[in-house]
Amino acid sequence: MRAFRGQMSDNQPIRRSLPEKQKQLRDLKETLAAMKSHTSPALKESVRKRIAQLEAELTAAPVLKSNRPGGAARPKQERGSAPRRPTIRSL
């Protein structure tokens, strides 16, 4: 069976909003703090690497928002790339 566009099996990165990234950062820091001394160094290093990536993304996020003209999000009309499908009304 073929996957439809946007399905989780499309091997696409998951896009997260700013609050979701902040939550993930908190969770990863808690996970790193809770790791035992016998946890593999490779696992600890991968968690540290992801924490560093998230911190870099979060510090860059306000800069990206301020570069946008008006400092606000795009209007709703520009967001969707696909046209809306007409609704079918039943008789």
In a domain, 75, yes or no: no
Predicted local distance difference test score (pLDDT) of residue 60: 87
Closest CA to 21 of 64, 48, 55: 55
Residue 34 domain-assigned (yes or no): yes
CA–CA dist 50, 12 (Å, integer): 18
pLDDT at site 14: 75
10-residue averages of pLDDT along the chain (91 residues): 63 81 95 94 96 93 66 54 65 58
Q: What count of Cα atoms within 13 Å lies in the side-chain half-sphere of residue 29?
A: 10
Does residue 91 lie in a domain region? no
Exposure letters 9-44 (e unless 16+ CB within 10 A, then b): eeeeeeeeeeeebeeebeebeeeeeeeeeeeeeeee
For the question of whether the overall pTM of this predicted structure is more than 0.75, the answer is: no
In a domain, 5, yes or no: no
Residue 39: which domain range? 14-65
